[in-house]
Structure 1
């Protein structure tokens, strides 16, 4: 099956799968009929609990394992058949970097670069230095990799993926092991790469991470695709939470319940809940008519987590 073609001026998708399935020996179904479309130029979040099939999908996309059935196209070419043509244009960090512990971070990158037949050896050291600088490891480049923390190893793996310009960057849990400052820096780097025209495919189990950095997202659970689309559109699928600030929280909760607000929670002088499918001005009017002193009445913007719950009817178990 051919990948979807571009229409008009719309660019062809960077990744397109149809019915992609992986069943391991023993009958374990890791990925079940995945239809995925990653737009060119997007920062695409591949979201799901641990064990949902994300890494298995990535391994099939990169030609590391064969699918049981279905098709996958990356950069317009079938995988794994076109691995030699596709992979030079793809930078990847999957399941953590493979490093030589007895070599320095810089020497590890030199080894990676020398294994790339398309890399110019005359500019190898400059390219390595630039990659270390970009991920914040310039000062630690001479340090042995075995002495690196988990976060530093993640950074070094990302540096390896950035040794040359890539059309596609595939990152599997790139902020794993990083402290909050390191996470912010990596997210900033991802935004910079996208601004330069690189499509970034980012796998994560962190809802907050996807919401902060991604333009598009897909949600996986138990090997199946739940939904995909622009992050703003996914969030729009949930109405958010209604928050009422009042010195009369008990009365407010009673009236809100009568008005169809569900999932009510009272915290101090604030009552929150899921808004009903009606004009909220009527809900506010009912509070005032009942003598509730309303100090604040707001509809908080729906988060990606709200959308996930609305779409699946369940919470997001990051340890699943």
Structure 2
């Protein structure tokens, strides 16, 4: 507080270039349920940041704390260098968000819903309102359905309309909670393309999902949550590289191939038709020696090699759990 009595917000103590930063962020609900446990998160400016975890891992609770919708039990959250929720009035006009699906007026058309959203924004210029609404509808592929009542929209169309609402004005940060929920494969591809375009224009995109392949396809950085705790975070390529890949063998003799590999000390062997997969051997084991041993045992090889580790491999290695990887 200054001598004149004006309250001054503390200077940001954020990592250089961090658009979102949390320290020890924790949320415990009544009854003792610990939804988020000591989260330390750092989202670089200009990144497409995937916030990854199974349903119930604490992703949406974290986002709601970041946006000032609920209070943290302890810890701090900073957006664009300002502490939330105290700086909400300063920060939120610079943030577009789609959280837990859009809230729509079913009796209004898609276009009228966006007009109402925009008119509620004190920073929006009414002179450009209709033009910006039209551009947002076109960008998410809803121009042809703009006059249709929102109650007649499919789940995927509602998701698109919610995303259009987040795009009514240029934003420094876009926060999307499961943005491809309810979309068909073509719709998912369109949203991924849109996210890349927004990032190319300078918007940082924070995207939560329970779909590993979605994060791997579109994101530059990611954090993995499980049971309310942060497991790991960093560039997507580095997260995947931290896990061993999978040995992949295609052969008309899968049973014999599995037997030979097991005798050679290879672990995690699985047989599916003419395909045999296993954990990639340690770096001191020559792949050429493994293939030679298979051939020497009379196994006929159609293909042999090591597949690059994926985020799924990294997640399983870190948590010992499987994951919903449907795309």
Structure-1-length-normalised TM-score: 0.95
Aligned residue in 2 for 1:288: 295
Tell me if structure 2 keeps the 8 A contact 1:49–1:318: no
Aligned to 2:5: none
Q: What does residue 207 of structure 1 align with?
A: 212
2:176 corresponds to 1:171: yes
State the SS of the aligned residue for 1:309.
Answer: helix
Aligned 1:229-244 pairs, distance under 5 A? 229-244=234-249
Residue 243 of structure 1, CA deviation: 1.1
Residue deviations 1:94-146 (CA, integer Å, cap 9, x gap): 01111111111111101111111111111100000000000001011111111
1:180 aligned partner: 185
- 1:25-81 CA-partner distances (Å, limit 9, x unpaired): 111111000000001111111011111100000000001111010001100110011
Structure 1's unaligned 5+ residue stretches are 7-11
Kept in 1, the 8 Å contact 2:247–2:279? The answer is yes
Structure 1 residue 264 displacement after superposition? 1.4
Is the aligned partner of 1:48 residue 2:58?
no
- Report deviation, 1:317: 5.3
Instruction: Specify which of 246, 251, 258 is matched with residue 253 of structure 1.
Output: 258
What is residue 14 of structure 2 aligned with on the other side? 4
2:203 maps to which residue? 198
Structural mapping, 1:113-124, within 5 Å: 113-124=118-129
Asked if structure 2 preserves the Cα contact closer than 8 Å seen for 1:19 and 1:69, the reply is: yes
* Count of residues in Structure 1 that have an aligned counterpart in Structure 2: 314
Where do residues 297-316 of structure 1 align in structure 2 (5 Å cutoff)? 297-316=304-323
Conserved 8 A contact 2:68-2:88: yes
| Equivalent pair of 1:50/1:318 in contact (CA under 8 Å) | no
Give the conservation status (yes or no) of the 8 Å contact 1:249–1:269.
yes
Matches within 5 A, 1:94-109: 94-109=99-114
Quick check: 1:207–1:305 contact (8 Å CA) kept in 2? Answer: yes
Distance 2:291 2:325 in 1: 36
Contact 1:237/1:310 (8 A) holds in 2: no
Structure 2 stretches lacking a partner, 5+ long: 1-9
Shift of 1:187: 0.9
Offset of residue 245 of structure 1 = 2.1
SS class of match (2:121): coil
